[in-house]
Structure 1
C-alpha cells in the first residue's frame, strides 16, 4: 500500500531529482524520494544498533569482522 503526500523541497533538490528521472536513473520523483527515505531509515537503524552495542560493553569475538565490514563498500545506493 502507498500513500500520496506533498513535500516542499528547495529548487536545487528538485532539479537534482528531475535530472535523475530524466537520465533514467529512477523511474519517478517518488522513487527518488522513497529511495532517499529508505536509506535514511537504514542509517537510523544502524546508528541505533551502534548505540545498543556500545551500551553492552561486552567483548565480542566478532570485532575483527566488524572492522573488516566497515572497510567494505556498501550497496546502499
Structure 2
C-alpha cells in the first residue's frame, strides 16, 4: 500500500532530485523513498551500535562486516 503526501523541500534539494530523475534513477517518489529508506537503515544501525556499545557484548559480531550491505 502507498499513501500520497505533500512535502515542501528547499529549491536546491528539489533541483538535486530532478537532476537524479533526469539521469534515469527513477521518479521523484522513487528518489525520495530510496533516500528515506537509507536514512531509516542508518538510524537502525546507529541504535544497534549504541546498544552494542552500552552492553559491550560484540565479540560474536567480529565477522559481521563481511556480510553487511545496504539495500536499496
Q: Where on the TM-score scale, by shorter chain, does this alignment land: which range?
A: 0.7 to 0.9
Query: Relative CO higher for 1 or 2, CA cutoff 8 Å, sep ≥ 6?
Result: 2
Shift of 1:58: 3.1
> Match for residue 60 of structure 1?
59
TM-score with structure 2 setting the length: 0.81
Q: Unmatched 5+ residue regions in structure 1?
A: none
Which runs of no fewer than 5 residues in structure 2 stay unpaired?
A: none
Structure 1 residue 11: Cα displacement:
0.5
Q: Following superposition, which runs of at least 4 residues in structure 1 exceed 3 angstroms of deviation?
A: 74-77
Q: Which TM-score applies when normalising by structure 1?
A: 0.77
Aligned length: 71
CA-atom RMSD in angstroms? 2.2
